[in-house]
């Protein structure tokens, strides 16, 4: 059974597991140069299966070349029940470029508004104040509901907050998994204190956690049996959502069966003892990644 939590300070309840739509560089190149979308139907089916299972959080970006896939996948579903997030590329962060990029994303998504519009990466060559003025205007005009950032450090997040006078930054997207826990040093505590949602990309560490090895494999498999045969991927995702109420993992949506598996990471909770066992079993890995 899918679970939902309030997304930051938005008041909107989103599924604790979302769906990411970044595939790989070759997918982007083929789509951009030749209008070829590898396994398009399979990816759309995966997204639709997720929505049917109650996943309402979908993340995309203009650079991914998947906004049109998301548009196809959400067709026929209630738009106001979905939370669609996309991102503007760092070469489009000047004021007019942000506005134009948002319009292009809206057109590809076939939507009248974007729920969460994120700065994909910071660009030191463009003043944050200029970018945030454009982001604020998009919210004022109703084309964007909420503003987020991605791949920002804590210091950059604070600067972006200071540069956004009218509308708060409600989220940050960052790499976070059992094997990548740098965010826990300062960024996660800050976001928890300020109720800023954290979208965790690569929550399965490029599949490494779905096919764990060594001590981590042994521990995860033992714990999986304790919880009725949960898979390593389900254990890894449950660890993340159990770690903090502001964290929303967005594993890649590539196949319907993977979506079914990922959705099985909800509706139950690892206990504190098992959380600690998993933490200890992969601590060495986290220090070396």
CATH assignment at residue 56: 3.20.20.100
Q: Is residue 66 part of a domain?
A: yes
3-state secondary structure the chain: CCCEEECCCCCCEEECCCEECCCCHHHHHHHHHHCCCCCHHHHHHHHHHHHHCCCCEEECCHHHCCHHHHHHHHCCCCHHHCEEEEEECHHHCCHHHHHHHHHHHHHHHCCCCEEEEEECCCCCCCCHHHHHHHHHHHHHCCCEEEEEEECCCHHHHHHHHHCCCCCCEEEEEEECECCECHHHCCHHHHHHHHCCEEEEECCCCCCCCCCCCHHHHHHHHHHHHHCCCCCHHHHHHHHHHHHCCCEEECCECCCHHHHHHHHCCCCCCCCHHHHHHHHHHCHHHHHCC
Cβ–Cβ < 8 Å for 250, 203: yes
Distance CA 166, CA 253 (A): 34
Q: Is residue 226 part of a domain?
A: no
pLDDT recorded at residue 215? 87
pTM reported for the whole predicted model: 0.96
Q: Is residue 229 part of a domain?
A: no
Q: Is residue 170 part of a domain?
A: yes
Q: Which domain holds residue 106?
A: 4-205+245-271
Q: Is residue 16 part of a domain?
A: yes
pLDDT recorded at residue 284? 44
Distance CA 261, CA 39 (A): 20
Distance CA 85, CA 94 (A): 20
pLDDT recorded at residue 165? 85
Considering its fold, how many domains does the chain have in total?
1
Q: Is residue 279 part of a domain?
A: no
Q: Active-site residues: which are they?
A: 64
pLDDT recorded at residue 283? 56
Extract the residue ranges of the chain whose pLDDT is less than 50.
284-289
Q: Is residue 265 part of a domain?
A: yes
pLDDT recorded at residue 212? 81
pLDDT recorded at residue 1? 84
Q: Is residue 59 part of a domain?
A: yes
């Amino acid at each position: 059974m899918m679970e939902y939590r309030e997304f930051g300070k938005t008041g909107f309840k989103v599924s604790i597991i979302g769906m990411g739509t970044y595939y790989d560089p070759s997918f982007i190149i083929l789509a951009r140069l030749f209008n070829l979308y590898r396994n398009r139907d399979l990816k759309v089916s995966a997204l639709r299966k997720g929505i049917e299972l109650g996943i309402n959080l979908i993340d995309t970006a203009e650079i991914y070349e998947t906004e049109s896939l998301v548009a196809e996948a959400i067709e026929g579903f209630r738009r106001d029940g979905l939370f669609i997030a996309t991102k503007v590329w760092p070469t489009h962060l000047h004021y007019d470029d942000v506005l134009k990029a948002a319009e292009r994303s809206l057109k590809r998504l076939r939507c009248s508004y974007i729920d969460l519009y994120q700065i994909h990466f910071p660009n030191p060559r463009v003043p944050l104040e200029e970018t945030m003025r454009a982001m604020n205007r998009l919210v004022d005009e109703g084309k964007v509901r909420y503003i987020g950032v991605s791949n920002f450090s804590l210091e950059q997040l604070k600067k972006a907050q200071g540069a956004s006078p009218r509308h708060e930054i409600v989220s940050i997207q960052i790499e976070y998994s059992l094997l990548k826990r740098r965010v826990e040093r300062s960024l996660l505590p800050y976001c928890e204190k300020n109720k800023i949602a954290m979208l965790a990309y690569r929550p399965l560490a490029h599949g490494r956690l779905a096919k764990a090895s060594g001590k981590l494999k042994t521990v995860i498999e033992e714990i999986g049996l304790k919880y009725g045969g949960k898979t390593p991927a389900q254990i890894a995702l449950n660890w993340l959502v159990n770690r903090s109420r502001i964290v929303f993992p967005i594993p890649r949506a590539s196949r319907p069966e993977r979506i079914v598996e990922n959705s099985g990471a909800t509706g139950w909770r690892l206990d504190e003892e098992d959380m600690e066992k998993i933490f200890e079993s992969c601590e060495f890995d986290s220090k070396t990644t």
